[in-house]
Structure 1
Amino acid sequence: MEFSYLCTECGTSYELNPALTTCPSCSKSQKIDEPLKGVLEVQPQGTLPENAAVDTEVLVQSLLPVPPEYFPPLPRVKGELWKPERLREELSIPGLYIMNDGSNPTGSFKDRASVLVSAYARQSGENTIVLASTGNAGSSMAGIGAAAGQKIILFLPETAPPAKMIQALQYGATVYKVAGNYDMAYDLSLDYSKLKGGMNRNTAWNPMTMEGKKTVSLDIFAQLGNKSPDRVFVPTGDGCILGGVYKGFKDLLQFGLIKKMPRITAVQAEGSNALYRAWKSGSFDNQPSTTIADSISVDIPRNGYTALKYLQNYDGDVVCVSDNEIIEAQAHLSSRSGLFTEPAGATGWAGLLKCKKEISVHETVVVLATGNGLKDTATALKGIKMPEQTITSIEDIRG
């Protein structure tokens, strides 16, 4: 298999090069306070091995641009597709599945991108990786980097949940706490990379982030028995996970393993819904974001143009949910399935609950749960009632 970069805007092809992040031509028109121009995708060309359709490991390895020997010594990041029987019955959706990426090494979907960035850095002879994060990407890259023996420089907004910051520090990352939001952290990390070097892992800026995230679609296909779902609900902030989901299914289409693109629904928090506004109006604006789902809280969705193009080309849609709906969905999913996901993961579930009346009993539906609920217990507390009484004997229990 041969790989190259393809500009998602102008269609120009480039050789893979760790120094190349966005299209040199399209990025010239980049404006402040807008999504990235000239985002690059990895384009595979060639023939899949005969056993790729029945062997998930072969399929994934064949469609990734870095050979297996460069990957860190960890179990393959693949998530687990759950069959929530109680929820299937309650919602009358017998084909309902939940892709749980909270089971990944650092408890996050972001491991999918981090392992590929780590491998690409090693292949390129670079041992330092720099990034900004709302929390999950940073703790993910820190953990993957620890396994690979790489130096991780992380810029986190001061509002990042303590558990995610603690996790990154436990892994040995150098953490800079930014007196501002994720967008400021993103820009500062780019400034750091330009000044001091290192491979920058920032979402969409590094083409390997969306490429790594596409593996969720390959895993869904494999775990469904080499079938495509009818619909996928994707919690969405900067649009990189959404782009990765589309990219994975697009690769499966390209090689004839599926016949059509699933209907993909991006789910955004009402307080951070730049992609939804652009989907409705056709253009992006810059408004301050605020939501309890920190992992998808962004002012400027850096992969916005690419995500919007995918939605338009493949008839996807975007729905918004309130913070209260996210909190309720988190508790609902936990208590009915045993899967405790963080607020961003619960956002996808809240989106399904909002759209459940339009889902047919004949459809196969997958909801992405993108991170472990223990990453943000402060928000989870808002959806439950802690016991107030302490007891010393069984007689103290009333009722």
Structure 2
Amino acid sequence: METTAAFRGLTCTECGEAFDAEDAPHRCPDCGGILDATYDYDAIDLTREELESRPFTGMWRYEELLPFTRASCVTMDEGATALVEAPDLADSLGVGRVLIKDEGRNPTGTFKDRGHAVAVTAAVQHGATDIALPSAGNAGQSASAYAARAGLASHVFLPSRSPFVNKAMVNVHGGDMTVVEGRIDDASERYKSEMEGEDWYSTATFETPYRHEGKKTMLYEIIEQLDWEVPDAILYPTGGGVGLIGMHKAATEFRELGLIDELPPMYAAQASGCAPIVKAFEEGNDRHEPWEVPDTICGGIEIPNPGASPLILDAIRESGGGAVATDDDDILDSAVAVAQQTGVEMGATCGAAASGAWELADRGEFDEDDTIVLMNTGAGNKEDDILRSHLMGLGF
């Protein structure tokens, strides 16, 4: 495998056992726990001046903190997305600054591209010919795009409620798509049954150790774009929590390297119709309980049984953040408000970050000079029908 100099392999987040990356491509072979990439940070000589000297052209500028070399990566120049100032939102929240990290500017319109750039690179290095995953929509589209880029076949299992654009683009990229009646759990069950007897490389959430490695680069960029100032809160629309876990890891890495002194508080924003992380956080639990009857229009965060909940809860607690849930109407109103006040086309699901910020502001969580970052993890045109229907329901 063509790995970077400081990459040391994979460590199980449950039992702590360490593995060579070539020997353990997915979950821990001992206990089934989630694997995490590890690095020798003493071997990384990375300064603010060095990073500032590099063109801001994509996430592989952070090669030293990624498992694979830039030369070996499967990439479409993902990353280096805009951090957009939103002064009107800052005024309405009563804070100093609000910025929107606009991940809708990635190749397939979502932050999923960061994760699949690394996961598909891993698949190639393991000699895979096919990748497979279940997805609520965006990850499946991204997987099929990066598989096409790498010359691999892709097998995507989507619930019937997935947005039309995701289904269409899986087809356009040449993916083998299976649409399963029901929700994401139903698609996951079909995926598991189809994986039996197949030699497909999984890029499913936290089955691969590499998707959160790609997504952690969002945090690196935010810190640089803020001239090395750590924001007072980052709100992340949370389903499986891959990006939140990745960004928290990135913050600990930057702190380890002496590039920042403190961790940014991470906030998990969920829909009240499916909020297992919020419930676990508020009850002081270390692990979620599965949400029995998920009910939200926000399919991207309707994850009733997030398997990485201990890592999500650790991240928000260690960082001094929290968790907040808001109703669907508030989420959709917020996505529309962001579009009308800033011009940024926020995905309907991503509106949870904005509505969560307003809820936290109402609770007095923020100070008047705080800097707040909202993660727009997907472009508004991914779910434009949901936003338009919401407006029509309001008489517009």
**Corresponding residue number in structure 2 for 1:300:** 305
> What aligned pairs does 1:1-399 form with structure 2 within 5 A after superposition?
1-17=6-22, 19-27=24-32, 38-45=33-40, 46-50=43-47, 52-54=50-52, 55=54, 60-281=62-283, 282=285, 283-286=287-290, 287-356=292-361, 357-385=364-392
- Residues 222 and 190 (structure 1), Cα distance of their counterparts in 2 relative to 1, 3 Å cut: farther
Note the C-alpha offset of 1:312.
Answer: 3.1
More displaced 10-residue stretch of structure 1: 374-383 or 100-109: 374-383
Note the C-alpha offset of 1:52.
Answer: 4.2
Q: Distance in 2 between matches of 1:343 and 1:387?
A: 16
How many corresponding residue pairs? 379
Aligned-residue CA RMSD (Å): 2.1
Q: Is this contact kept in 2: 1:190–1:200, CA < 8 A? A: no
Counterpart residue identity of residue 156, structure 2: L
In structure 2, list runs of 5 or more residues that go unmatched. 1-5
Note the C-alpha offset of 1:4.
Answer: 1.8
Counterpart residue identity of residue 341, structure 1: M
SS of the residue 2:349 aligns to: helix
More displaced 10-residue stretch of structure 1: 216-225 or 141-150: 141-150
Note the C-alpha offset of 1:380.
Answer: 0.6
Note the C-alpha offset of 1:253.
Answer: 1.6
Q: Distance in 1 between matches of 2:180 and 2:390?
A: 29
Q: Distance in 2 between matches of 1:386 and 1:315?
A: 38
SS of the residue 2:190 aligns to: helix
Note the C-alpha offset of 1:19.
Answer: 4.2
Q: Is this contact kept in 1: 2:120–2:203, CA < 8 A? A: no
Post-superposition Cα deviations, 1:88-143, rounded to whole Å, max 9, x if no partner, equal 34434332111000010000111110111111112222131101100010011112
Q: Which has the larger radius of gyration?
A: 1
Post-superposition Cα deviations, 1:243-268, rounded to whole Å, max 9, x if no partner, equal 11211112112211111111111001
Q: Distance in 1 between matches of 2:23 and 2:117?
A: 15
Counterpart residue identity of residue 383, structure 1: H
**Normalized against structure 1, the TM-score is what?**
0.89
- Residues 197 and 355 (structure 1), Cα distance of their counterparts in 2 relative to 1, 3 Å cut: same
Counterpart residue identity of residue 335, structure 1: Q
